Amino acid sequence: MAYYAIAPLLCTLMHNELYMHLYTTEIYNGPNSSNDHALVINVNPPLGFGNVVVDDWPVTDGLGPNANIVGHIQGVHIQSSQNAAYGWYFSFNLDFEGTRFGGSMLRVMGMTAGYGDWSIIGGAGEFTMARGVVENQVVQEDSGFWRTYELKIHAFYTPMNSSVVSSIAFTKNL
- Angle at alpha carbon of residue 145, lines to 141 and 150, rounded to 5°: 35
Q: Tell me if 172 is assigned to some domain.
A: no
Q: What is the pLDDT of residue 85?
A: 66
Of the candidates 108, 104, 113, 69, which has an alpha carbon nearest to the alpha carbon of residue 92? 108
- pLDDT for the residue 82: 82
Q: What pLDDT score does 173 carry?
A: 53
Which pLDDT belongs to residue 147?
Answer: 87
- Its sign, for the CA torsion 150, 92, 88, 46, is positive
In a domain, 174, yes or no: no
Residue 48 has pLDDT above 90, yes or no: no
Mean pLDDT of the chain: 83
Which comes out higher in pLDDT, residue 151 or 31?
151
Determine the average pLDDT of the residues in 135-154.
Answer: 90
Residue 6 in domain: no
The total number of structural domains that make up the chain: 1
Please, how many CA atoms are within 13 Å of residue 13, restricted to the half-sphere of its CB?
A: 18
| Within a domain: 170 | no
- In this predicted structure, what is the pLDDT of residue 14? 81
Does residue 10 lie within any of the structural domains?
A: no
- The verdict on residue 31 lying in a domain is yes
**Mean pLDDT in residue range 87-110:** 92
- The confidence band for 81, taking pLDDT boundaries of 50, 70 and 90, is confident
pLDDT tens string 5-35: 666 666 667 889 999 999 998 877 777 666 6
Q: Write out the residue range of the structural domain in which residue 62 sits.
A: 16-159
DSSP 8-state class, residue 3: E
| Within-domain flag for 85 | yes
When pLDDT is averaged across residues 36-48 and rounded to a whole number, the result is: 76
CATH classification at residue 35: 2.40.480.10
The structure's pTM equals 0.81
What pLDDT does residue 118 have? 95
